Amino acid sequence: MSAPVVAHTRAEFADARAKLDGSVAVVMTMGALHEGHATLIREARAANDNVIVTIFLNPLQFAAGEDLSRYPRTLTSDLEICEREGADLVFAPSPDVVYPDGEPGVRISAGPLGTVLEGASRPGHFDGMLTVVNKLLNIVGPTRAYYGQKDAQQLLLIKRMARDLDMPVEIVGVPTVREHDGLALSSRNVYLSEHDREVALCLSKALKAGEAARNSGPAAVRRAAREVLVHEPLALVDYLVLVDPVTLEQVPEYFRGEALLAVAAKVGTTRLIDNIPLVIGGDR
Ligand code: AMP
């Protein structure tokens, strides 16, 4: 596998991008790449002529007091993963390359879907995320863009943006990659002490317990998941919800069909999120 071209400036990127023929996939990341990111690159590689990875820690989607300053930066090993997975081109710009005029005055608004769940805890986060995703899509000009189901609300909002704004790109979702014990891979897992990591397992365990109750209706799913979380007082739960995957509204008791069980909790100093798509079945 030959090493990807690495572009740090817009000119370097445009030069390398112009040499690519055929379909182009993009995988957008904030760096600190792990097997979840590698899986996205692999899926992109399997279905497209060219794969571009962006590595950009977007200040616009971090509020004051969040973890921007301590977020792991591991460019050398990120590039090794990009090479191993067969990426053709990596765009790793600094903030002043992406925002040459400083913070953008005009931004994408996530609308009502951006104010619930993660948006309720992180005001402005989704506007900042969609703004940079829009910019990177404009810079890259891909056929397809790949995002993880791990960030379900982000994936939903990017799909809505592409549809609502008639953007000429296909958005592809990729299932969450987990450790052998169920913990969802995340760049933020490096913040977890050994003990925190044990505590953090309650998130995926709660989701699994909820999933196991899917044929008994929404209340049973919520109860089963909550039961796991209450036994782990060191996980400070922000939300545990069973929602419609399109509207993000809590599903009523008579609901049957596709739903999303999602959880967010603080473990030690780290805010973790996880979710599982499930089909609520059984008799009404
Ligand atoms: P991030 O670098 O955390 O912004 O993530 C970049 C992309 O990788 C996003 O589309 C994430 O949803 C995706 N991603 C992160 N963790 C995972 C995971 N464990 N499984 C699948 N995709 C993931």
* Domains of the chain with bracketed CATH: 5-174 (3.40.50.620), 187-277 (3.30.1300.10)
Of 113, 112, 115, nearest to 124 (Cα)? Answer: 115
Residue 148 counted as an annotated binding residue: yes
Which residue puts its alpha carbon closest to atom 5 of ligand 1? 29
232 alpha-carbon distance from chain centroid: 25
The whole-number pLDDT of residue 236 equals 98
pLDDT per position as a tens digit, 144-180: 999 999 999 999 999 999 999 999 999 999 999 999 9
Residue 61 counted as an annotated binding residue: yes
DSSP string, 195-262: HHHHHHHHHHHHHHHHHHTGGG-HHHHHHHHHHHHHT-TTEEEEEEEEE-TTT-PBPPTT--EEEEEE
Mutate to test the pocket of ligand 1, among 29, 133, 156, 157 (most ligand atoms within 8 A of CB): 29
Half-sphere exposure of 220 (CA within 13 A, CB side): 15
The whole-number pLDDT of residue 282 equals 73
Query: Does the beta carbon of 189 sit less than 6 angstroms from any atom of ligand 1?
Result: no
CA of 80 to the centre of ligand 1 (A): 17
Half-sphere exposure of 145 (CA within 13 A, CB side): 23
Residue 75 DSSP SS3? helix
C-alpha span between 69 and 220 (Å, rounded): 41
Which residue puts its alpha carbon closest to atom 22 of ligand 1? 148
CA of 37 to the centre of ligand 1 (A): 6
Quickly tell me which residue has 């039961």 as its tokens.
227
Which residue numbers are catalytic?
Answer: 37
Strands (E), the chain: 5-7, 24-29, 50-55, 89-91, 144-148, 170-174, 235-243, 257-267, 270-280
pLDDT < 50: residue spans in the chain:
none
Residue 188 counted as an annotated binding residue: yes
Residue 251 DSSP SS3? coil
Structure tokens at 137: 């899509």
C-alpha span between 230 and 61 (Å, rounded): 31
pTM exceeds 0.95, yes or no: yes
Q: Are 171 and 152 in contact (CB under 8 A)?
A: no
The whole-number pLDDT of residue 284 equals 57
